[in-house]
A = this chain, B = another copy of it.
Amino acid sequence: MALVLNDSGGLNFVRAGDVKSFESKTGLSDGSGEEMYQLIAELYPICRSITGQGIRETFGRIQQHIPLTITEVPSGTQVFDWMVPLEWNIRDAYVADRRGIRIIDFKQSNLHVVSYSTPISARMSLRELKEHLFTLPDHPEWIPYRTSYYKESWGFCLSHRQYLELLDEDYDVVIDSSLEKGHLTYGEYYLPGETADEVLISCHACHPSLCNDNLSGIAVATFLAKSLQARSRRYSYRFLFLPVTIGAITWLALNQRHVSNIKHGFVLTGVGDEGGFTYKKTRDGAADIDAAFAHVLRHSGELFEVTEFIPYGYDERQYGSPGFNLPVGCFMRRANGGYPEYHTSADNLDFVKPTSLSRSLEVVRSVVEVLEANRRYVNTSPFCEPQLGKRGLYRAIGGNVTGRSAEMAFLWVLNLSDGSHTLLQIAERSGLPFSTIKLAADELEGQGLLRRSG
């Protein structure tokens, strides 16, 4: 029991209600951060794109943690206004100088090649080559990340420092890639609960060697899924690992009839850096998931920001398109584009931290706790307050002013349990953490003073 008598005979909850309590209950903090970091380190070298072997290999490694179902959708399949593209694979790519030395080498970093580059094997002048080179003059040591999914093209990315050192001579340019009919691949893990009502957790898995932008979301989603396997679940949970945009569009097109089950959801991405938390609200901005994230973050003791929906960012823009309008927000640390390392080689294994991953996982676990426990109750003794003291719930000696939180939680739950307020609304109105309110409700329900409503 999470209730103890305080010094004055009143009641206190044991450290209930702050995010840290989940740590101690689940023991996650003693290793999950490192485990998630290890998964990221393992996936880091793989050259992922929106299709191809890289994303398949990634899903294979995730399957060592959770039993992912893999779906392969043929190139050319019409998905709403889009078409599943050709599958892209790459074996090697380089630019070699006159001496045959590879001065830009895909094998050193897969960021060197613009994703979806068409094959090429040619000798060309520096002038010709330069039209296909991309750099970041403001960050001369970093390699940018670029793609050309929907326009056939090829290119190399390199550091601006190296670019400035290129000699005016001819170069051998080779990209040993293929762009052919094949498949788009996505991974899915469905954890059934007591009801068919679903919580959707979606993350993208299509970026090559970028740690925060894609791998951190994959890692936290995977470990959230693992932790949910063991517990009883009121909701069913669906985890999607997708190529960004076209993956979400494809999944929505193939599952259009089932999306009405989705009651809550969030996109998970960029949760490994050391920045404060960002939660971006759903399109309507008033969903339960919005209230749950805002509540948990407010009580997390960490810096955070809750921002309005905009139709830009990650796949929340597809889930939140007007035809679906699903209650799906987006949970990040620093928002996409909000840090200079975004979409560069500096988003590497140094940029993400085990502690950051661990705290991000705690937040989403706390959000899940809120969703699972959030109900309406009816006070069975609604006329005046019930006498808590005779039930051993209330301090027997008046005049005590410490240990007020537990007592206030009982009083708030009783006062607002009129069938119209949820526990989360009670927590918000009272200023108390959801977990405190939940413990009080459980105790009152056990005493017969509360029953579940509707």
Contact = CB atoms under 8 A, between A and B. Distances in A.
A383 B150 contact: no
A346 B327 CA distance: 56
A342 to B, nearest CB: 9
A335 to B, nearest CB: 13
Q: How many copies of this kind of chain does the complex include?
A: 3
A312 B253 CA distance: 53
A408 interface: yes
A398 B321 contact: no
A311 B414 contact: yes
Contacts of A232: none
A412 interface: yes
Interface string A208-252: 000000000000000000000000000000000000010011001
Residue among A283, A323, A401 having the largest count of chain B Cβ atoms under 10 Å: A323
Interface in A384-419: 384-387, 389-390, 396-399, 401, 407-408, 411-412, 414-418
Residue among A146, A151, A381, A383 having the largest count of chain B Cβ atoms under 10 Å: A383
Contact of A387 (B82, B256, B321, B385): B82
Residue among A79, A81, A379, A407 having the largest count of chain B Cβ atoms under 10 Å: A81
A307 to B, nearest CB: 12
A446 interface: no
B321 A385 contact: yes
A321 B407 CA distance: 16
B81 A150 contact: no
Contacts of A418: 322, 325
A144 interface: yes
Given A311-B414, A317-B411, A398 B147 contact: yes
A137 interface: no
A416 B384 contact: no
Contacts of A310: 408, 412, 430
A383 B318 CA distance: 8
Interface in A138-170: 144-151, 153
Nearest to A415: B311
Given A153-B397, A253-B383, 16 more contacts: A81-B381, A81-B385, A81-B387, A82-B387, A147-B398, A148-B397, A245-B385, A283-B415, A310-B412, A311-B412, A321-B383, A321-B384, A323-B379, A323-B384, A324-B384, A325-B418
